[in-house]
């Protein structure tokens, strides 16, 4: 659009913009991001039955990829507790508009997921002109890294965390006579919460980059509290995977530990870059 192009050109040329001009530019970025979300939401709703069958309801079946891989690991290691062959629960909808409401909610969540790269790119286009040249150089590839980490977290939550949580909750019984009949709303909410939470958690290196850039974090602090962080990670893994099998906890704890180590490296890299900028202000 002409207005947006002109504001982008002004921003790139370093021209001063009024507060209202910034608001106008932000408005168009938001409109385009929301438009992308709505587009993906409509497409998802058009194929919602197929999506439910292939994606959303897949972790509720013992034939799900994760359960089959766990059975193979169990056969190789001898840890029989890892093999999940039965998920003893039924899904049901107790409200007249329950299934339609969940179809709408699921379509919106899917729209948010698939539109995330473009939406973040729009936000980044608005923020980038306000950064210094050194900051823009240091943050090069931000859209790619944020998107990659987000979808890595979503996949981790969908294929690892969600199945383990569903297995525990489905097979946990106070008494054998009590049947587990879960509402579809509860089931979808659990998967959505775990996958989105993992997507956000995987942004830890990005958070470390930003905090290190503004001076609130440094690698020495992170190394000093590495053991504390590892204990916290183990506790989180134990909560997510209440199974007594150590291997299931390792499956969750290993990526989180790796993210923490990557964050230490990122913080150290930012610190070195900051020192170089102080020594050579012209860079």
Task: Tell me which residue of 247, 248, 253 sits closest to 234, measured CA to CA.
Answer: 253
Task: Tell me which residue of 217, 209, 222, 226 sits closest to 270, measured CA to CA.
Answer: 209
Q: Is 76 found in the same domain as 194?
A: yes
Of 181, 202, 223, the domain-final residue = 202
User: Could you identify the residue written with the tokens 């009590």?
Assistant: 178
Query: pLDDT at position 243, please?
Result: 59
Which two tokens mark 255?
A: 């990526």
Integer Cα distance of 195 and 254 in angstroms: 17
Non-local (6+) Cβ contacts of 107 within 8 A are: 41, 42, 44, 45, 48
Query: pLDDT at position 241, please?
Result: 65
Beta bridge partners of 182: 91
Q: Is 145 found in the same domain as 50?
A: yes
Residue 84 CA from chain centroid, whole number: 25
Q: Is 139 found in the same domain as 25?
A: yes
Task: Tell me which residue of 67, 91, 94, 95 sits closest to 81, measured CA to CA.
Answer: 67
Q: What is the pLDDT along the chain (283 residues), one digit of tens a residue?
A: 444 444 444 444 444 567 777 788 888 899 999 999 999 999 999 999 999 999 999 999 988 998 888 888 878 877 776 777 778 788 898 888 889 989 999 999 999 999 999 999 999 888 888 777 777 777 788 899 999 999 999 999 999 888 888 888 887 778 888 888 889 898 999 899 889 989 998 999 999 998 888 888 888 989 998 898 888 888 877 776 655 667 777 878 888 899 999 999 999 988 888 787 777 765 5
Which two tokens mark 136?
A: 């823009």
**Other CB atoms within 10 A of residue 51 CB:** 17
Integer Cα distance of 283 and 280 in angstroms: 6
Q: How many domains does the chain have?
A: 2
Q: Is 243 helix (H, G, I), strand (E, B) or coil?
A: coil
Q: Is 210 found in the same domain as 172?
A: no
Q: Is 223 found in the same domain as 159?
A: no
pTM (2 d.p.): 0.82
Range of the domain at 242: 204-283
Of 138, 171, 202, the domain-final residue = 202
Query: pLDDT at position 4, please?
Result: 47
């Amino acid at each position: 659009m002409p207005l947006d192009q002109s504001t982008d050109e002004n921003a790139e040329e370093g021209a001063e913009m009024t507060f209202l001009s910034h608001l106008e530019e932000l408005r168009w970025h938001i409109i385009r991001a929301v438009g992308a979300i709505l587009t993906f939401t409509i497409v998802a709703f058009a194929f919602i039955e197929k999506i439910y069958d292939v994606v959303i309801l897949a972790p509720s079946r013992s034939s799900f990829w994760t359960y089959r891989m766990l059975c193979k690991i169990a056969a190789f290691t001898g840890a029989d507790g890892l093999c999940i062959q039965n998920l003893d629960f039924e899904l049901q909808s107790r409200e007249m508009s329950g299934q339609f409401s969940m179809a709408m909610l699921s379509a919106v969540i899917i729209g948010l997921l698939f539109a995330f790269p473009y939406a973040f790119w729009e936000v980044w286009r608005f923020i980038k002109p306000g950064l210094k040249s050194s900051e823009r150089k240091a943050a090069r590839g931000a859209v790619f890294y944020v998107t990659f980490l987000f979808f890595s977290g979503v996949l981790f939550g969908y294929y690892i965390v969600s199945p383990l949580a569903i297995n525990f909750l489905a097979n946990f019984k106070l008494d054998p006579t009590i049947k587990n009949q879960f509402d579809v709303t509860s089931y979808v909410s659990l998967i959505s919460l775990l996958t989105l939470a993992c997507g956000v958690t995987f942004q830890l290196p990005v958070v470390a980059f930003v905090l290190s850039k503004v001076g609130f974090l440094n690698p020495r602090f992170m190394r000093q509290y590495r053991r504390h962080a590892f204990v916290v990670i183990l506790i989180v893994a134990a909560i997510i995977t209440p199974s007594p099998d150590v291997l299931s906890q390792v499956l969750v704890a290993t990526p989180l530990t790796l993210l923490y180590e990557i964050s230490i490296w990122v913080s150290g890299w930012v610190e070195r870059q900051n020192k170089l900028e102080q020594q050579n202000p012209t860079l």
